[in-house]
Protein backbone atom coordinates (compact mmCIF):
# COMPACT_ATOMS: atom_id res chain seq x y z
CA UNK A 1 0.00 0.00 0.00
CA UNK A 2 1.38 3.41 -0.98
CA UNK A 3 2.10 6.00 1.71
CA UNK A 4 1.31 9.71 1.46
CA UNK A 5 4.68 10.44 -0.17
CA UNK A 6 3.75 8.11 -3.02
CA UNK A 7 0.54 9.94 -3.89
CA UNK A 8 0.54 12.58 -6.62
CA UNK A 9 -2.05 15.34 -6.11
CA UNK A 10 -3.36 17.73 -8.76
CA UNK A 11 -5.49 20.47 -7.19
CA UNK A 12 -8.01 22.91 -8.63
CA UNK A 13 -8.29 21.41 -12.12
CA UNK A 14 -11.35 22.68 -13.98
CA UNK A 15 -13.82 19.96 -14.97
CA UNK A 16 -16.84 22.03 -16.06
CA UNK A 17 -18.14 25.57 -16.51
CA UNK A 18 -21.43 26.79 -15.03
CA UNK A 19 -20.95 30.54 -15.38
CA UNK A 20 -17.83 29.95 -13.32
CA UNK A 21 -15.35 27.08 -13.29
CA UNK A 22 -16.09 23.94 -11.30
CA UNK A 23 -12.91 22.36 -9.98
CA UNK A 24 -11.74 19.07 -8.60
CA UNK A 25 -8.69 17.66 -6.83
CA UNK A 26 -7.18 14.47 -8.25
CA UNK A 27 -5.20 11.97 -6.15
CA UNK A 28 -3.15 9.33 -7.98
CA UNK A 29 -0.76 6.65 -6.79
CA UNK A 30 2.70 7.64 -8.05
CA UNK A 31 2.96 4.16 -9.55
CA UNK A 32 -0.55 4.19 -11.04
CA UNK A 33 -1.11 2.13 -14.16
CA UNK A 34 -3.37 3.14 -17.05
CA UNK A 35 -6.92 1.94 -16.69
CA UNK A 36 -6.97 2.05 -12.90
CA UNK A 37 -10.37 2.23 -11.21
CA UNK A 38 -11.46 5.80 -10.54
CA UNK A 39 -13.69 7.08 -7.77
CA UNK A 40 -15.38 10.46 -7.41
CA UNK A 41 -15.70 11.38 -3.73
CA UNK A 42 -18.43 13.89 -2.78
CA UNK A 43 -18.39 15.88 0.45
CA UNK A 44 -21.32 16.39 2.79
CA UNK A 45 -22.59 19.47 4.58
CA UNK A 46 -26.35 19.44 4.18
CA UNK A 47 -26.15 20.67 0.57
CA UNK A 48 -25.41 24.16 1.99
CA UNK A 49 -21.85 24.00 3.32
CA UNK A 50 -18.74 21.88 2.82
CA UNK A 51 -15.71 21.78 0.57
CA UNK A 52 -13.95 19.24 -1.62
CA UNK A 53 -10.86 19.68 0.58
CA UNK A 54 -12.79 17.84 3.29
CA UNK A 55 -12.44 14.69 1.19
CA UNK A 56 -8.63 14.68 1.20
CA UNK A 57 -8.33 11.87 3.76
CA UNK A 58 -10.80 9.67 1.89
CA UNK A 59 -9.12 10.32 -1.46
CA UNK A 60 -5.68 9.59 -0.04
CA UNK A 61 -6.98 6.34 1.44
CA UNK A 62 -8.31 5.20 -1.94
CA UNK A 63 -5.11 6.32 -3.72
CA UNK A 64 -3.04 4.26 -1.28
CA UNK A 65 -5.00 1.25 -2.51
CA UNK A 66 -4.21 1.89 -6.18
CA UNK A 67 -7.28 3.94 -7.10
CA UNK A 68 -7.40 7.33 -8.78
CA UNK A 69 -9.56 9.36 -6.40
CA UNK A 70 -11.18 12.65 -7.37
CA UNK A 71 -12.84 15.19 -5.07
CA UNK A 72 -15.14 17.45 -7.13
CA UNK A 73 -16.73 20.64 -5.94
CA UNK A 74 -20.42 21.23 -6.57
CA UNK A 75 -22.49 24.36 -6.20
CA UNK A 76 -24.09 24.67 -2.79
CA UNK A 77 -27.66 25.78 -2.27
CA UNK A 78 -26.55 29.17 -1.03
CA UNK A 79 -25.05 29.81 -4.46
CA UNK A 80 -27.61 28.21 -6.76
CA UNK A 81 -31.00 26.55 -6.25
CA UNK A 82 -31.76 22.86 -6.50
CA UNK A 83 -31.02 20.90 -8.68
CA UNK A 84 -27.65 22.67 -9.15
CA UNK A 85 -25.81 20.33 -6.71
CA UNK A 86 -27.17 17.30 -8.58
CA UNK A 87 -26.43 18.82 -11.98
CA UNK A 88 -22.80 19.34 -10.93
CA UNK A 89 -22.57 15.82 -9.53
CA UNK A 90 -23.66 14.48 -12.90
CA UNK A 91 -21.31 16.86 -14.72
CA UNK A 92 -18.34 15.49 -12.78
CA UNK A 93 -19.30 11.93 -13.73
CA UNK A 94 -19.49 12.88 -17.40
CA UNK A 95 -16.17 14.72 -17.20
CA UNK A 96 -14.45 11.77 -15.55
CA UNK A 97 -15.64 9.43 -18.29
CA UNK A 98 -14.72 11.87 -21.06
CA UNK A 99 -11.27 12.51 -19.56
CA UNK A 100 -10.65 8.91 -18.55
CA UNK A 101 -7.47 8.60 -20.61
CA UNK A 102 -5.91 11.76 -19.21
CA UNK A 103 -6.91 10.79 -15.68
CA UNK A 104 -5.45 7.31 -16.10
CA UNK A 105 -8.72 5.53 -15.39
CA UNK A 106 -11.01 3.20 -17.31
CA UNK A 107 -14.20 4.91 -18.48
CA UNK A 108 -16.24 1.86 -17.44
CA UNK A 109 -14.66 1.80 -13.98
CA UNK A 110 -15.95 5.08 -12.58
CA UNK A 111 -17.23 4.62 -9.03
CA UNK A 112 -18.73 7.11 -6.59
CA UNK A 113 -18.40 7.65 -2.86
CA UNK A 114 -20.34 10.20 -0.87
CA UNK A 115 -20.64 11.32 2.70
CA UNK A 116 -24.02 12.42 4.09
CA UNK A 117 -25.46 14.93 1.58
CA UNK A 118 -22.72 13.87 -0.83
CA UNK A 119 -23.94 10.27 -0.55
CA UNK A 120 -27.46 11.43 -1.41
CA UNK A 121 -26.17 13.20 -4.52
CA UNK A 122 -24.02 10.23 -5.53
CA UNK A 123 -26.89 7.75 -5.29
CA UNK A 124 -29.33 10.05 -7.05
CA UNK A 125 -26.86 10.64 -9.89
CA UNK A 126 -26.00 6.93 -10.12
CA UNK A 127 -29.66 6.02 -10.48
CA UNK A 128 -29.77 7.79 -13.85
CA UNK A 129 -33.24 9.01 -12.92
CA UNK A 130 -35.08 11.45 -15.13
CA UNK A 131 -35.86 14.90 -13.78
CA UNK A 132 -39.34 15.79 -15.13
CA UNK A 133 -38.49 19.46 -14.76
CA UNK A 134 -35.54 19.24 -17.13
CA UNK A 135 -36.18 16.25 -19.33
CA UNK A 136 -34.01 13.12 -19.38
CA UNK A 137 -30.66 13.55 -17.73
CA UNK A 138 -27.54 12.65 -19.66
CA UNK A 139 -26.49 9.90 -17.26
CA UNK A 140 -28.09 6.48 -17.39
CA UNK A 141 -27.73 3.32 -15.33
CA UNK A 142 -24.46 1.74 -16.34
CA UNK A 143 -22.41 4.95 -16.43
CA UNK A 144 -21.52 4.48 -12.75
CA UNK A 145 -19.94 1.19 -11.73
CA UNK A 146 -20.77 1.31 -8.01
CA UNK A 147 -21.43 3.57 -5.02
CA UNK A 148 -20.17 3.72 -1.45
CA UNK A 149 -22.69 5.74 0.58
CA UNK A 150 -21.76 6.88 4.08
CA UNK A 151 -24.50 7.89 6.57
CA UNK A 152 -26.82 8.82 3.73
CA UNK A 153 -30.10 10.74 4.23
CA UNK A 154 -31.95 8.19 2.12
CA UNK A 155 -35.35 9.66 2.95
CA UNK A 156 -35.66 13.42 3.45
CA UNK A 157 -38.81 14.77 5.16
CA UNK A 158 -40.91 16.89 2.82
CA UNK A 159 -40.66 19.87 5.17
CA UNK A 160 -36.86 19.71 5.06
CA UNK A 161 -36.97 19.32 1.30
CA UNK A 162 -39.11 22.44 1.00
CA UNK A 163 -36.70 24.36 3.21
CA UNK A 164 -33.87 23.29 0.91
CA UNK A 165 -35.84 24.30 -2.17
CA UNK A 166 -36.33 20.71 -3.35
CA UNK A 167 -39.83 21.21 -4.70
CA UNK A 168 -41.78 20.71 -7.88
CA UNK A 169 -42.54 17.61 -9.96
CA UNK A 170 -39.18 15.95 -9.26
CA UNK A 171 -39.22 16.54 -5.49
CA UNK A 172 -40.59 13.13 -4.48
CA UNK A 173 -37.89 11.29 -6.44
CA UNK A 174 -35.15 13.46 -4.95
CA UNK A 175 -36.42 13.09 -1.38
CA UNK A 176 -36.79 9.29 -1.30
CA UNK A 177 -33.89 7.28 -2.68
CA UNK A 178 -35.85 4.05 -2.21
CA UNK A 179 -37.80 4.96 -5.34
CA UNK A 180 -34.59 4.39 -7.36
CA UNK A 181 -33.69 1.04 -5.79
CA UNK A 182 -34.12 -0.88 -9.04
CA UNK A 183 -31.90 1.50 -11.02
CA UNK A 184 -28.79 1.53 -8.87
CA UNK A 185 -25.42 -0.13 -9.52
CA UNK A 186 -23.83 -2.13 -6.68
CA UNK A 187 -24.10 -0.10 -3.46
CA UNK A 188 -22.39 -0.45 -0.09
CA UNK A 189 -23.93 1.53 2.76
CA UNK A 190 -22.15 2.59 5.95
CA UNK A 191 -23.97 3.81 9.06
CA UNK A 192 -23.68 3.99 12.84
CA UNK A 193 -26.48 2.97 15.16
CA UNK A 194 -25.85 6.06 17.29
CA UNK A 195 -26.47 8.45 14.38
CA UNK A 196 -29.40 10.76 15.18
CA UNK A 197 -28.90 12.92 12.06
CA UNK A 198 -29.30 10.11 9.54
CA UNK A 199 -30.78 7.22 11.52
CA UNK A 200 -29.46 3.79 10.47
CA UNK A 201 -33.00 2.64 9.73
CA UNK A 202 -32.85 4.77 6.58
CA UNK A 203 -29.80 2.91 5.28
CA UNK A 204 -31.36 -0.43 6.24
CA UNK A 205 -34.57 0.42 4.37
CA UNK A 206 -32.61 1.45 1.28
CA UNK A 207 -30.52 -1.73 1.48
CA UNK A 208 -33.67 -3.85 1.70
CA UNK A 209 -35.29 -1.97 -1.19
CA UNK A 210 -32.26 -2.56 -3.42
CA UNK A 211 -32.21 -6.26 -2.57
CA UNK A 212 -35.95 -6.64 -3.18
CA UNK A 213 -35.48 -4.98 -6.57
CA UNK A 214 -32.85 -7.58 -7.48
CA UNK A 215 -29.89 -5.25 -7.05
CA UNK A 216 -26.55 -5.76 -5.35
CA UNK A 217 -26.07 -4.13 -1.97
CA UNK A 218 -24.19 -4.55 1.27
CA UNK A 219 -24.57 -2.81 4.62
CA UNK A 220 -22.10 -1.98 7.38
CA UNK A 221 -23.71 -1.06 10.70
CA UNK A 222 -21.34 0.08 13.44
CA UNK A 223 -22.37 -0.13 17.10
CA UNK A 224 -22.53 3.17 19.01
CA UNK A 225 -20.99 5.27 16.22
CA UNK A 226 -22.47 8.65 15.33
CA UNK A 227 -22.66 10.86 12.23
CA UNK A 228 -19.30 11.45 10.51
CA UNK A 229 -17.75 8.52 12.40
CA UNK A 230 -15.10 8.19 9.68
CA UNK A 231 -13.23 11.01 11.46
CA UNK A 232 -12.57 8.65 14.39
CA UNK A 233 -9.17 6.92 14.64
CA UNK A 234 -8.83 4.08 12.14
CA UNK A 235 -12.34 4.37 10.72
CA UNK A 236 -11.45 6.02 7.41
CA UNK A 237 -8.97 3.28 6.56
CA UNK A 238 -11.32 0.52 7.71
CA UNK A 239 -14.29 1.79 5.70
CA UNK A 240 -12.27 2.45 2.56
CA UNK A 241 -10.90 -1.09 2.85
CA UNK A 242 -14.47 -2.38 2.99
CA UNK A 243 -15.60 -0.23 0.07
CA UNK A 244 -12.67 -1.25 -2.12
CA UNK A 245 -13.20 -4.94 -1.29
CA UNK A 246 -16.92 -4.65 -2.09
CA UNK A 247 -16.22 -3.04 -5.47
CA UNK A 248 -13.62 -5.70 -6.24
CA UNK A 249 -15.93 -8.63 -5.60
CA UNK A 250 -19.07 -7.13 -7.16
CA UNK A 251 -17.57 -5.34 -10.17
CA UNK A 252 -13.82 -5.43 -10.79
CA UNK A 253 -13.31 -9.17 -10.24
CA UNK A 254 -16.94 -10.29 -10.20
CA UNK A 255 -16.54 -13.32 -12.49
CA UNK A 256 -13.65 -14.72 -10.46
CA UNK A 257 -15.44 -14.12 -7.16
CA UNK A 258 -18.71 -15.62 -8.36
CA UNK A 259 -16.90 -18.73 -9.63
CA UNK A 260 -15.15 -19.16 -6.28
CA UNK A 261 -18.44 -18.67 -4.44
CA UNK A 262 -20.13 -21.31 -6.57
CA UNK A 263 -17.31 -23.77 -5.85
CA UNK A 264 -17.71 -23.10 -2.13
CA UNK A 265 -21.46 -23.61 -2.33
CA UNK A 266 -21.01 -26.92 -4.13
CA UNK A 267 -18.46 -28.01 -1.51
CA UNK A 268 -20.90 -27.29 1.31
CA UNK A 269 -23.67 -29.11 -0.53
CA UNK A 270 -21.37 -32.12 -0.72
CA UNK A 271 -20.58 -31.90 2.97
CA UNK A 272 -24.28 -31.74 3.80
CA distance 153 to 119: 8
Give strand ranges (E) for 30-141: 36-42, 68-72, 105-115
Confidence label for 141 from pLDDT (cuts 50, 70 and 90) = very low
Of the candidate ranges 58-72, 77-91, 98-112, 123-137, the one whose mean pLDDT is the lowest: 123-137
Of the candidate ranges 41-55, 123-137, 194-208, 214-228, the one whose mean pLDDT is the lowest: 123-137
For residue 56, give the H/E element and its range: helix 56-64
Q: Tell me the average pLDDT of the chain.
A: 93
**pLDDT of 2 over the 80 cut:** no
**pLDDT of 119 over the 80 cut:** yes
135: which strand partners? 131
Confidence label for 22 from pLDDT (cuts 50, 70 and 90) = very high
CA distance 105 to 24: 15
**pLDDT of 148 over the 80 cut:** yes
Q: Mean of the pLDDT values across residues 171-199?
A: 96
Fold of 4-271: Rossmann fold (3.40.50)
Starting at the edge strand that comes first in sequence, how are the strands of the sheet with 68-72 ordered?
A: 7-17, 21-29, 68-72, 36-42, 105-115, 147-150, 187-192, 217-222
Q: Determine the 3-state secondary structure of 157 from DSSP.
A: coil
Its pTM stands at: 0.93
Amino acid sequence: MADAAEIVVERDAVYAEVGRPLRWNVFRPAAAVAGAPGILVYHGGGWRVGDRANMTAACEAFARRGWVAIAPEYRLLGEAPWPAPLDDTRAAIRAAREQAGALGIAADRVFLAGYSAGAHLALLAASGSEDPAQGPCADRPGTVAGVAAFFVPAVIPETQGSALGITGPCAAAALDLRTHAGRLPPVILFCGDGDSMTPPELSLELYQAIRRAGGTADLRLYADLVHEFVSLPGMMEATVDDAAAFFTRTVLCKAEFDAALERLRRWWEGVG
